[in-house]
Amino acid sequence: MNMSAAAYENSTRFTGLAGMYDRFRPGYPDACLQWLADRAGLTGSAVVADMGAGTGKLSEELVLTGLRTVAVEPNPDMYSVLQRKSEMTSLLTTVQATAEDTRLEDSSITLVTAGQSFHWFDPEAFREECARILQPGGKVALLWNSRRRETALVQANAAVFERHVPYFPGFSGDHRVSADDFADFFRPAGYEYREFEHDQMLTWDEFLGRNLSATYAPREGDASYQPVVEELRALFEEHRESDLIRFPLVTRVFVGGVQG
Domain boundaries defined on the chain: 5-146+171-201+249-256
Chain centre distance of CA 123: 15
88, with CB counted inside 10 A (0-12, 13-18, 19+), is exposed
Mean pLDDT of 213-220: 90
Residue 173 — φ and ψ, nearest 5°?
A: -100, -15
Residue 178 — φ and ψ, nearest 5°?
A: -95, 170
Count of alpha carbons within 13 angstroms of residue 30, beta-carbon side? 2
189, with CB counted inside 10 A (0-12, 13-18, 19+), is exposed
Give residue 165's pLDDT: 93
Confidence tier at 60 by pLDDT (50, 70, 90): very high
**In the CATH scheme, what is the code of domain 5-146+171-201+249-256?**
3.40.50.150
Length of the chain: 260
pLDDT in tens, 228-256: 999 999 999 999 999 999 999 999 999 99
This prediction has a pTM of: 0.88
Give residue 170's pLDDT: 84
Nearest Cα residue to 68 out of 37, 47, 52 = 47
Beta bridge partners of 253: 143, 194
Please report how the helices 57-64 and 76-86 are oriented relative to each other, as an axis angle in degrees rounded to 10. Answer: 20
- Given a cut of 50, is residue 5 above it in pLDDT? no
Confidence tier at 18 by pLDDT (50, 70, 90): confident
- Euclidean distance between CA atoms 82 and 19, whole angstroms: 11
Give residue 176's pLDDT: 60
The mean pLDDT of the chain is 91
CA distances from residue 30 to 34, 61, 73, 184, 251 in whole angstroms, order as listed: 6, 9, 23, 29, 11
Confidence tier at 3 by pLDDT (50, 70, 90): very low
Parallel/antiparallel/unpaired status of strands 191-197 and 200-202:
unpaired
